Structure 1
Amino acid sequence: MTNETNSPSLRSISCAEALVRLLRDSYAVDTVFGIPGVHTVPLYRGLESGGLRHVTPRHEQGAGFMADGYARASGNPGVCFIITGPGMTNIATAMGQALADSVPMLVISSVNRRDTLGRGQGQLHELPSQQNVLAGVSRFSHTLLDPSALPEVLARAFAVFRSQRPGPVHIEIPIDLFDAPISLPTEYAPARLYRPAPHPDGVALAAEWLREAHAPLVLLGGGCADASKSARALVEHLDAPTVTTTNAKGVLGRGHPLDLGANATWPEVRALARDADVILAVGTELGETDYDVVFDEGFTLTGRLIRIDLEAEQLVRNQATALGLVSDAGIALSALLAHFPAPLARQGAKRTRAIHEALALPTRPDMATFVPLYAALDHALPEAIIVGDSTAPVYAGNHLVKRAAPRRYFNASTGYGTLGYGLPAALGAQLAKPGTPVVALVGDGGLMFTLSELATAVDEELPVVIVAWNNSGYEEIRRYMDAHGVARIGVDPTPPDFQRLAEGFGLTSQRIESPAALDLALSNVSRNAPTLIEIDAERWQAALG
């Protein structure tokens, strides 16, 4: 019998070293986010010679948001190494945001020794069941009990990322297994995986309905981010007005004549949706943060709804589906396009233009304040990736912003809706796209949630431009309280002196009060180091008259 550890095709190494090797060589991972702790030190022995870049945030939530931003900007999973117990509860919020927005994230954590699991002995960082805690914010959570199963468990994780609806995956490794030997082939090639294709009969029926439609409408979600070319071609052949959600910005390019933008919440677009006789929804949950941000359940579809999604269950959520296809968006769109050899003529561009004229978004009081902000960004940094927190400029930007390509605008106002996302997610995006300008658009309240990540930006020399809208507290909640007759309580926290803080962190910074000053500041930002630009919201609005 052959001793496999001495076989020329196998090599025995520690579980921790095997993990790093598999991530690097088999799954092309190049960056890991994490804060070392006593329970994860063996991972760092594997990392030392592993050829991976390690980025140290100042909080595990920051690690998760960085991984999220990295994944959204690149399309590749963000990877984290996280300590047992408090590290995992800290990152849970970031995992919840990634789960809600279908963002691929791999969270590798330690967990207590196998012989202590579930025994309540008061071990360091002990939870009754860490796996159960994280199962609710992940596609799956797995406890590795046999080191030889590591390649299979990683393969499962990347199968989620590559072949089905993505989201966070959590793999926890007991601390007594990190140094356990595992035999790996000298060359390990993971399975080649392909996403599902739609049933041809379903495609044919969908094409028939779309061809016969008198008032078609297309809804494109974040699932179309990698299907730009086929989405644009099909929309043009259908000549149909198209809603592109916040996470689908740029899928049709900048200023496409059929693009209604992420404006499904406005009455004019709702009327168009209600009157559509056939609706094609691709890669979208049809959830309220994309279609009902006034939260009155007023977005209704009465026509035949055709849905395309990677997840079968998603086909029947939120709206009544007439025809559902489980498929990758790009494959399905290309298959549908084959049924339309010549473009149809339905005055789609005219109908779209009429909606935009009726909306007149730049003149609306809640939008007009931020029109010059985005004009300055487009002028100074036209190709920038804009990463937002939950803050007033971002809420407006969801309706105003146009991007030339997908994956260049995303924020935390969709899905889970957490605060503190913008800064660390922008750092992750900058690491994923080092040659592309990245802007973090944050409010003073949200910035305080993850302010410590300014230190990470300085340490890693990431030239992110941080634009902070300082309205001295939680302005959106203040307005909500006012509208509902509730006294303003808890919404007026005093912001710090951000200029002095920036100086303490070693950042270049300035405080500006007008659109002209913002344009000048953005035109002179460093391309080698982070910059903080603080906008005095009250003076800005006064400057606009």
Structure 2
Amino acid sequence: MRTFGTYIVELLVANGVELVFGIPGAHTIELYRGLQNTGLRHVTSRHEQGAGFMADGYARVSGKPGVCFVISGPGVTNIATAMGQAYCDSIPLLVISAVNPLGAMGSGAGYLHELPDQRQLMRQVSAFSHTVLTMDEFELALARAFAIFGSARPRPVHIEIPTTLLRCDSTSLGGARRFDPPARPGIGKEIAAAAAELLENAGRPVIVAGGGARRASVSIRSLAEALHAPVLMTVNGRGILSYAHELAVPIIPASSPAFELLSKSDVVLAIGTEMGPTDFGDKLFDLTSFSGKLVRIDIDPEQAVRGMPPDLAIVADAAEAVEQISALIACCGAGGRGKGRAAAARAAVAALATPMEQAGLYLLSALRDSAPSTIIVGDSTQPVYAGCMAFGADAPGTFFCSATGYGTLGYALPAAIGAKIAAPDRSVVCVIGDGGLQFTLAEMATATEIGCPVIMIVWNNNGYGQIKTHMENAGIKPVGVDIFTPDFRKLAQAFDWHAEILVGLENLGACLAAVRGCSKPSLIEIVETS
């Protein structure tokens, strides 16, 4: 008998899924029956939150949805945090969970892993949450999920299946088939012409590129060069223009230099960005009085008018929209003025950097330059905060972190594991604090188990250093921030990782070279010096 759980796995494989993350449980074992003959790889995390973060990192690097199998109840609540991060950053995750048997959902009878309304919980962190009540429904629900991943704003999707249904005979369903998502929305000729006219006549244009513009990097570069326009990149948009490009402005939009750049422009083209507070801060509201024109391109019609209403809203795929607009613009001959404005913004932010921020930027730059196409995955920790302020990546998707949006701790290690699985031939380095690491420390075992040689930089200030600083600056006596810090070298030994300890950053380059060819995962602990 081919169970419904087996059919689900066959359908995933038919639609290009190559691996899943998760932890087997009593309620999901029928899904694992289907793994036997399909070749679908399974990576076992040590916590469902870790599975979700791994799927997130895998999705960002591979461009494919990250898929997770989780049990009902605690599996769902554990992965919800990872889904929240992915939801805020528009990352495609597919979370398939069990739920109580038909007729028993929400009964309050005390079933194992019972929640009053599991789907209602998951709706808060997903594009949609669907309960499959008949076997025929699953294919339609999966088609909806892939339509969102491929043709709309890609956010997590949750599909739950009653445990009794997973065990049913699915022979009647026939073979699994592939379905293609609908075409991404395009841009009309009249709207493209209106945007092109505004940009072509601008004297001081600026392009703002967010995470939704990563697939449009080539066309954005061409447009920026034609307009001589600086490209201000949000945290999720870093690398859309290489940090070495003279029009690149990889600085946080909330900074004063970025605000000056934007407020003095006459046309701002914002592509694939929420223009939200974690990037723009209070400066966003100051900009409502600027006298220039705002053009926004977004695949999400609601997002196109949130935050700061545009003069022209374009709901379309970023790459297609920019290409069509670019085709209507001749070289403006703006005499290199954009280069000067970009250089001034970069220099002004560099001048504002504190010694701590300078150290963080030095660390990230050393990691970026240590090997070609290095992927840096950041947690919420001091060097990464510095990176959000002014770190320049060399390509899209080579620097991402959890320090904006949902802002979870413990993200970097499991996300780096997922990224390394997606790009086994590239160097993947995660940067995490001693406090943040203790959220997902157990995933060091996962890296060892699957032979995943990530490099983990642990920034050790013996506690929650950034929060402690905030407390002190606010005149609050620090409480709860000076936490016990374990011996990370001994922990690395226990998990069969290679380990190095540095005091300060002087020998970082030599240390990176030493661990680069290591077949094991490697931990480099950097003890912060005052």
Structure 1-normalised TM-score? 0.93
Structure 2 match to 1:4:
none
Partner of 1:318: 307
Task: Give the structure 2 partner of residue 223 of structure 1.
Answer: 212
Taking the aligned partners of 1:330 and 1:234, their CA distance within structure 2 comes to 11
Residue 401 of structure 1 deviates from its aligned partner by 2.6
Aligned counterpart in structure 1 of residue 391 of structure 2, from 384, 398, 401 = 401
Distance 2:66 2:383 in 1: 27
CA distance in 1 between counterparts of 2:124 and 2:23 reads 23
Tell me how far apart the structure 2 counterparts of residues 64 and 411 of structure 1 sit (CA, whole Å).
14
Name which of 496, 502, 506 aligns with 1:512. Answer: 502
2:60 equivalent to 1:72: yes
Other-structure match for 1:167 = 155
3-state SS of 1:171 partner: strand
| Number of corresponding residues | 525
Choose from 517, 537, 541 the match for 2:528: 537
In 2, the alpha carbon distance for the partners of 1:410 and 1:202 equals: 32
Mapping for residues 110-129 of structure 1, pairs under 5 Å: 110-129=98-117
In the other structure, the counterpart of 1:37 is 25
Residue of structure 1 equivalent to 2:404: 414
Deviations 1:315-334 (A, max 9, x none): 11111211101101001001
Contiguous gaps of at least 5 residues in structure 2:
none
User: Match for residue 6 of structure 1?
Assistant: none
Q: Is the 8 A contact 2:22 2:69 kept in 1?
A: yes
Q: What secondary structure does 2:83 align onto?
A: helix
Amino acid at match of 2:253: A
Tell me if 1:255 matches 2:257.
no
The answer on 1:49 being equivalent to 2:40 is no
Give the direction of change, closer, same or farther, for the CA distance of 1:395–1:187 in structure 2 (3 Å limit).
same
Pairing 1:457-476 to 2, within 5 Å after superposition: 457-476=447-466
How far apart, CA to CA, are the structure 2 residues paired with 1:148 and 1:527? 48
Asked whether the 8 Å contact 1:291–1:299 carries over to 2, the reply is no
Q: How many angstroms apart in 2 are the aligned matches of 1:262 and 1:357? A: 10
Query: Which has the higher mean CA deviation after the structures are superposed, 375-384 or 57-66?
Result: 375-384
The 5 A counterparts of 1:225-244 are: 225-244=214-233
Q: TM-score, normalised by structure 2?
A: 0.96
Deviation at 1:212, TM superposition (A): 1.6
Q: Which moved more, 1:476-485 or 1:398-407?
A: 398-407
Q: Is the 8 A contact 1:262 1:290 kept in 2?
A: no
Q: Which residue of 1 aligns with 2:445?
A: 455
Report deviation, 1:344: 3.6
CA RMSD of aligned residues (A): 1.6
Give 2:371's aligned residue: 381
CA distance in 2, matches of 1:299, 1:291: 10
Partner of 1:427: 417
The 1-side partners of 2:191 and 2:200 are apart by 14
> Which stretch shifts more, 484-493 or 365-374?
365-374
CA contact (8 A) 2:193 2:325 kept: yes
Of residues 68-77 and 351-360 in structure 1, the stretch that sits farther from structure 2 once superposed is: 351-360
Tell me whether 356-365 or 248-257 shows the greater mean CA deviation: 356-365
Matched residue, 1:103: 91
Partner residue of 1:275 out of 252, 264, 270: 264
Percent of aligned positions with the same letter in both sequences?
Answer: 46
User: 1:245-285, CA deviations, whole angstroms, 9 ceiling, x for partnerless residues?
Assistant: 11111111231111111332221220121122211000000
d(CA) in 2 for partners of 1:296, 1:232: 26
Residue 239 of structure 1: how far off its partner (Å) = 1.0
* Residues 1:391 and 2:381 aligned together: yes
Deviation sequence 1:329-355 (CA, Å, 0-9, x none): 001001101111334425111221122
Q: Report how far residue 380 of structure 1 moved.
A: 2.3
Cα distance in 1 between the residues matched to 2:125 and 2:309: 27
Aligned mates of 1:522, 1:337 — CA distance in 2: 42
Note if contact 2:251-2:391 (Cα within 8 Å) is conserved in structure 1.
Answer: no
SS of aligned partner of 2:178: coil
Give the superposition deviation at 1:296.
Answer: 6.6
1:85 to 2:73 alignment: yes
Unaligned runs of 5+ residues in structure 1 are 1-11
Mapped to 2, the partners of 1:366 and 1:235 lie a distance apart of 33
Pairing of 1:318-397 with structure 2 (within 5 A): 318-345=307-334, 347-361=337-351, 364-397=354-387
Q: Which runs of structure 1 show a deviation greater than 6 angstroms over 4 or more consecutive aligned residues?
A: none
Deviation at 1:59, TM superposition (A): 0.3
**Aligned pairs for 1:199-210 within 5 A:** 199-210=188-199
Q: Deviations over 1:477-501 (max 9, x none)?
A: 1111111111101111011111111
